[in-house]
Structure 1
């Protein structure tokens, strides 16, 4: 969407983040369609995403792919095509909303409980293995290798593995780590702490300033970029216990910044989105 540049980090911080159209689409749907039981005119998506530099072809391709994946439904009204949410998408969006605005990324009330999951499956089950790993990462697990994953909390694994047909292939335990376990070292082994920290620092360079993205067309564009970039970080963040993280862990400041900017840009962004949206009720 945005052309790569050789400019330094300060110049890069004044440009929008590079985000996939589907990620932006999910943010738009979660903010302005979820809970309204409506189907939105395709032209409204095209107009909204033009603000973000996403062209009509990319928007139409994204909508078609999401229909094919069961994430959207088509609804024709006269000669116009509208798109509504599926139950699966509503579940995904509500989960994302909970992760972003209710749980947060800083775990400062950890009770010392770990969930340990071990799996073993035939090598031919590559697709199942891939799906399981993706679900475990989203649920806050990190890999210790050899099919062993850990999460710094008590996790109900049943909804995570539902539908994968893994009965008999998983072992799950919960409990405290005992001496001489090096908990901080185990976190570094299972989770990419440097990568997580770098992501938050890039976020802060872009957004922790008096007027972020001065070239943005309006607050709707800013808000969609802000919340989509933040969700990408949250997806990768397992909410590690703050007592085992570096004292200057950047997620703490980043959480405050995103909350402040949500309050600053959110109301104006909603007005702009509602004014530009054409839709039909589904009931």
Structure 2
């Protein structure tokens, strides 16, 4: 399952998923209704939009209603929690591949009667950052081989695929092939947008004291934008990317903002959550 999409309409849902990924897991995978509403208000989202977004996330089996000590709240479903746990390394500690890593190549065949499996397989490979070398043939840097195998086994897709590891030995120029297998122009534009949007924030927060509420209001939307990008870019070797690849600049900007803002943002979130752990009417 994928717990994020790219459409603008889904932004409140994206923010909610980010909040649960950041703060619910340390609270027994649960946030109180009142705390969620207040945190979303701090991000400029009103209560009606929160309720509507939560309803959609519940229908998609991302969230489920739970009461803790008489207080109404929500928890991530088991499948959503697995996706978010899987993403921690990719988002916060992504490794850049080298030419020595080689490649992992995946070939799949899914019967027409199981088209939903084909869709799940393609979605899963896309979220791992695989490129398409040919119909039914997907490729990624070799260091993703074990992660790919574990993900396919966990999602019940292993029976439909064969996985190979190796090197490109011939023919043609690999840099030009990488441009076909991955949409580097789109990635370049996405990284440029991230840098343009958040470089001023780094100057602002490194130029003076950081208050928890202002850090929170910047950090959660920033992470919500960033967390899509490592799933589209698998960390391709720099030797195969355009000179001056702006993904490196964007990665460093994210790392600097994460270091500066994550601590005070968590301080604000925890203060709100703990202050609102009290009985509330169950949301239906």
Partner residue in 1 for 2:197: 206
Partner residue in 1 for 2:61: 70
Partner residue in 1 for 2:226: 230
Higher helix share: 2
Residues 112-131 of structure 1: matches in 2 within 5 Å? 112-131=101-120
Q: Which moved more, 1:174-183 or 1:79-88?
A: 79-88
Kindly indicate whether residue 73 of structure 2 is the aligned counterpart of residue 82 of structure 1: yes
Q: Which among 240, 246, 252 is matched to residue 256 of structure 1?
A: 252
Deviation at 1:228, TM superposition (A): 0.9
Residue 219 to residue 88, structure 1, CA distance change in 2 (3 Å): same
TM-score, with structure 2 as normaliser: 0.81
Secondary structure of the structure 1 residue equivalent to 2:228 = helix
Partner residue in 1 for 2:5: none
Residue pair 1:30, 1:97 contacting (<8 A) in 2 also: no
Deviation at 1:78, TM superposition (A): 7.9
Deviation at 1:52, TM superposition (A): 2.2
Partner residue in 2 for 1:279: 277
Kindly indicate whether residue 46 of structure 2 is the aligned counterpart of residue 55 of structure 1: yes
Residue 249 to residue 165, structure 1, CA distance change in 2 (3 Å): closer
Residue 30 to residue 128, structure 1, CA distance change in 2 (3 Å): same
Q: Hey, what's the Cα distance between the residues in 2 that align with 1:266 and 1:92?
A: 21
Kindly indicate whether residue 178 of structure 2 is the aligned counterpart of residue 182 of structure 1: no
Q: Which moved more, 1:66-75 or 1:230-239?
A: 66-75
Q: Hey, what's the Cα distance between the residues in 1 that align with 2:28 and 2:42?
A: 25
Gaps of 5+ in 2: 1-7, 206-212, 279-284
How many residue pairs are counted as aligned between the two chains?
Answer: 257
Residues 37-48 of structure 1: matches in 2 within 5 Å? 37=28, 39-48=30-39
Q: Hey, what's the Cα distance between the residues in 2 that align with 1:239 and 1:266?
A: 23
Deviation at 1:192, TM superposition (A): 0.3
Aligned-CA RMSD value: 2.4
Residue 190 to residue 201, structure 1, CA distance change in 2 (3 Å): same
Secondary structure of the structure 1 residue equivalent to 2:26 = coil
Kindly indicate whether residue 100 of structure 2 is the aligned counterpart of residue 100 of structure 1: no
Partner residue in 2 for 1:8: none
CA shift digits 1:243-281 (9 cap, x unpaired): 11112101111111111111222222111111111337x
Q: Which among 132, 136, 140 is matched to residue 125 of structure 2?
A: 136
Residue pair 2:121, 2:157 contacting (<8 A) in 1 also: no
Q: Hey, what's the Cα distance between the residues in 2 that align with 1:94 and 1:201?
A: 27
Secondary structure of the structure 1 residue equivalent to 2:142 = coil
Q: Hey, what's the Cα distance between the residues in 2 that align with 1:92 and 1:74?
A: 19
Secondary structure of the structure 2 residue equivalent to 1:178 = coil
Secondary structure of the structure 1 residue equivalent to 2:133 = strand
Residue pair 1:110, 1:153 contacting (<8 A) in 2 also: no
Secondary structure of the structure 2 residue equivalent to 1:238 = coil
Gaps of 5+ in 1: 1-16
Partner residue in 1 for 2:140: 151
Deviation at 1:133, TM superposition (A): 0.8
Q: Hey, what's the Cα distance between the residues in 1 that align with 2:68 and 2:136?
A: 50
